[in-house]
A and B are shown apart, each in its own frame.
Chain A
Amino acid sequence: MQLFGKGANTLAFVSIAVVGLTGAGVVGLLYAFQSSPYVTQVDVYKNQPVPFSHQHHVQGLGMDCRYCHTSVEKSSQAGIPPTSTCMNCHKMIWGDQAMLKPVRDAWKNDAPLEWNGVHKLPEFVYFNHSAHVNKGVGCQSCHGRVDEMPLVAKKNTLYMGWCLECHRNPSPNLRPVDQITNMEWEPDEEWAHKNKLEHYGIREKKSFEVHQLTNCAVCHR
């Protein structure tokens, strides 16, 4: 007796394909989930206790990033401005606006504002703002066009793979140090043809078996 009918082979092939495709699909779905904005938080605008607009302050008023983020060139942290920085101006300007009440309350009660963090790295990663800014990585390269954001969202995943893209090949993201906070900067002819690694004293990859900027201890300690 014929145990398997004519269609058995087809059935076998199809079931193998279905199992394989399902597996791949599950992996694909997981991957899609992992890289979705839900997980990465890219382009997710976060509400804040005060609807502070970077767009208004930077593009509208022409303030430099460093007016508020004072330690960006000196320290690992760029620095979230203390309430006193807000009050420098808002003592005089818009001092009676309802929108700014949380700021005035914070100042009056010496109880700091609690902002919702947008860019947050895991605790085992040690990122240093000063090391990047002083070597020509502009604010915009990682944070995007903050000057166009009324509320701020993350524009990059800040995943390790994304960090390594630049750590393996920094040149495209380097600019003159005096253009760090310029949101609209485009390389001119001279800069485009300049050896930026040499300019910043970064050793080139060819002289290394491992690129120094990808040493684990550069970020993990």
Chain B
Amino acid sequence: MKDTINVAYVAELARIELTPEEQQLFQRQLETVVRYVEKIGRLELSGIEPTQHGQNLVNVFREDQTVAAESEARELFLANAPERNGYEFRLPKIVEEA
């Protein structure tokens, strides 16, 4: 863990546009946090199983349920769309120039 976080690059991976000021601020702040969390590198962890959850759970299954397309729920969900076209989400043109 010698190199540290490159905020400009990671922000691109995270799909967040940063202003130059934010980039500079986060670089400084997150370097401090990354240095801090590196303390877990000190522990001997061979043979230790990872914990993924708060409880030990096995797979939980249930039947899929279908909801009628004309249900009120459809209108409620679409009402939150930034832009809609009837019963469709409307999006800006996504074909980019070559």
Task: Check if A and B associate.
Answer: no
